[in-house]
Amino acid sequence: MNAPQIRPIIGISLGDINGIGPEIIIKTFSDQRITEFCTPVIFGSNKVINFYRKSLPDYNLNFNNAKDLQKLNPKQVNIFSCWEEEINITPGQMNETGGKYAILSLQAAVQALKENKIHGLVTAPFHKKNVQSTDFPFTGHTPYLQQAFGVQDVLMLMVAQNMRIGLLTEHVPIAEVAKHITKEKIHSKLRILKESLKKDFGIDKPRIAVLGLNPHAGDEGLVGKEEVDIIRPAIIEARKNDLLVFGPYSADAFFAQGNHDKFDAVLAMYHDQGLIPFKSLALGEGVNYTAGLSGIRTSPDHGTAMDIAGKDRADESSFREAVFASIDIFNQRMGYAEARRNPLRKIAAQVVAKMEDERIEEE
């Protein structure tokens, strides 16, 4: 007998209340069919949601006000209030208010995730500069989550149906990227990537490609030494540790020739090296996943889009994909844990499936 299917509770942080976060949340969850797959809970304020509902006449979002995360309505979108005070909402304007309440929403949602009161978290975007303060000295969601969960390292993993691209370095100035490339860091990211591909995506023996840093992957040291001195030796060592890792590949030719289709994931050296091809090829279906956490966190692959905030022009496709990615990863983790608890059951199921296939062939 299979383990009972659990409908996961998926938390949502509002992001910047003056950006497109509230709009894409409303558009996504106006389709009530989504509650067949998860129980959504928005961390924020019903006043913010009601403010934006007025400018979205074609979308009807019904919700339940929840004061206790143990008493959610599984058939509706739930809103868990993180503040009660009235706040001034100014769509399209980047100000202190937007940053302050984005962090209040995020902190409440992350705390619920750490306490296993929700099974996954989808974060709407905020502006990195707008949330910077002495209380939040982080360059984005990823480093904050790393500290919140107390882990040594995490991996920003961009996910779409046709590719997965991890980043060795994230929000680092181009002038400083090279000094962040070390064998230790490459090994750490590869380990996280391998484990995530197995546990979160169901790939038992993942094949991973590693990109070079320099043009033409350094041309054997003619246009940069990092490939010869750091990246290639790190790959060789990783292979000795039972990782199916290949490269380093020249980034331009790699994607131009469609080589990303031949691997289960790619490790890029820096932000734009991975994000430009990803956003070009993901066709609006891209999701940002934080691999390496005990909790599940996904987000859309775009920012606050202040220029279109409050104008009913935001496309919710990536956010919707992030919600379903969170659900899929939760279900995959449940199956992975079940298989590890009951290895004989997994073997028996495989034997039965093989016998059934043989019976069908004989008929």
Tell me the DSSP string of 66-105.
Answer: ES-TTS--TTSEEEEES--S-----TT---HHHHHHHHHH
pLDDT of the residue at 361: 45
| Mean pLDDT, residues 20-25 | 97
38 backbone dihedrals φ, ψ, rounded to 5°: -160, 165
CATH (domain of 38): 3.40.718.10
In a domain, 173, yes or no: yes
Q: Which two tokens stand for residue 317?
A: 């496709």
In a domain, 249, yes or no: yes
| Mean pLDDT, residues 108-137 | 94
**Cα 257 off chain centre by:** 26
- Total domain count for the chain? 2
Strand order from edge to edge, sheet including 120-123:
63-66, 77-81, 39-44, 9-13, 120-123, 297-300, 287-291, 155-160, 163-167, 265-268, 207-211, 244-249
| Mean pLDDT, residues 73-101 | 94
| Mean pLDDT, residues 55-75 | 92
Q: Are strands 9-13 and 120-123 parallel, antiparallel or unpaired?
A: parallel
pLDDT of the residue at 344: 58
| Mean pLDDT, residues 264-270 | 98
Is a pLDDT exceeding 60 seen at residue 346? no
pLDDT of the residue at 359: 46
pLDDT of the residue at 1: 34
In a domain, 359, yes or no: no
Q: How many residues does the chain have?
A: 363
Residue 114 C-beta-side C-alpha neighbours within 13 Å = 13
Q: What is the pTM of this model?
A: 0.89
In a domain, 326, yes or no: no
8 backbone dihedrals φ, ψ, rounded to 5°: -70, 150
Q: Are residues 125 and 265 in the same domain?
A: no
Residue 285 C-beta-side C-alpha neighbours within 13 Å = 11
Give 151-198 pLDDT, tens digit per residue.
999 999 999 987 999 999 999 999 999 999 999 999 999 999 999 999
In a domain, 108, yes or no: yes
Q: Which of 260, 292, 324 is the last residue of a domain?
A: 292
Q: Are residues 142 and 265 in the same domain?
A: no
Instruction: Give Cβ neighbours of residue 305 (< 8 Å, ≥ 6 apart).
Output: 19, 20, 125, 314
Q: Are residues 132 and 38 in the same domain?
A: yes
pLDDT of the residue at 2: 45
Q: Are residues 177 and 143 in the same domain?
A: no
Find where tokens 């100014």 sit.
Answer: 90
Is a pLDDT exceeding 90 seen at residue 337? no
User: How does residue 345 score in pLDDT terms, banded at 50, 70 and 90?
Assistant: low
> Comparing 70-79, 130-139, 145-154, 191-200, which segment has the lowest mean pLDDT?
130-139
User: How does residue 6 score in pLDDT terms, banded at 50, 70 and 90?
Assistant: confident
pLDDT of the residue at 357: 46
Q: Which of 233, 260, 292 is the last residue of a domain?
A: 292
Contact assessment for residue 243 and residue 237, using Cβ atoms and an 8 Å cutoff: no
pLDDT of the residue at 59: 94
Q: Are residues 11 and 142 in the same domain?
A: yes
Q: Are residues 15 and 144 in the same domain?
A: yes
Q: Are residues 184 and 278 in the same domain?
A: yes
Is a pLDDT exceeding 90 seen at residue 247? yes
Q: Are residues 21 and 50 in the same domain?
A: yes
Q: Which helix (H) or strand (E) holds 65?
A: strand 63-66
In a domain, 147, yes or no: yes
Is a pLDDT exceeding 80 seen at residue 317? yes
Cα 107 from Cα 147, distance rounded (Å): 12
Q: Are residues 140 and 93 in the same domain?
A: yes
**Cα 89 off chain centre by:** 27
Cα 26 from Cα 142, distance rounded (Å): 24
Query: Cα dihedral angle (160, 290, 321, 17), rounded to 10 degrees?
Result: -140
- Give the range of the structural domain holding residue 270, as residue numbers without chain letter: 152-292
Q: Which two tokens stand for residue 263?
A: 């691997």
Is a pLDDT exceeding 90 seen at residue 92? yes
Q: Are residues 170 and 60 in the same domain?
A: no
pLDDT of the residue at 83: 94
Is a pLDDT exceeding 80 seen at residue 214? yes
pLDDT of the residue at 353: 46
Q: Are residues 110 and 35 in the same domain?
A: yes
pLDDT of the residue at 348: 53
Residue 323 C-beta-side C-alpha neighbours within 13 Å = 28
Q: Which two tokens stand for residue 264?
A: 């289960």
Cα 78 from Cα 63, distance rounded (Å): 5
User: How does residue 285 score in pLDDT terms, banded at 50, 70 and 90?
Assistant: confident
Query: To the nearest whole percent, how much of the chain has pLDDT over 70?
Result: 92
In a domain, 33, yes or no: yes
**35 φ/ψ sector (left φ>0, alpha ψ -120 to 50, else beta):** alpha
Cα 13 from Cα 140, distance rounded (Å): 14
Q: Are residues 13 and 79 in the same domain?
A: yes
| Mean pLDDT, residues 55-69 | 92
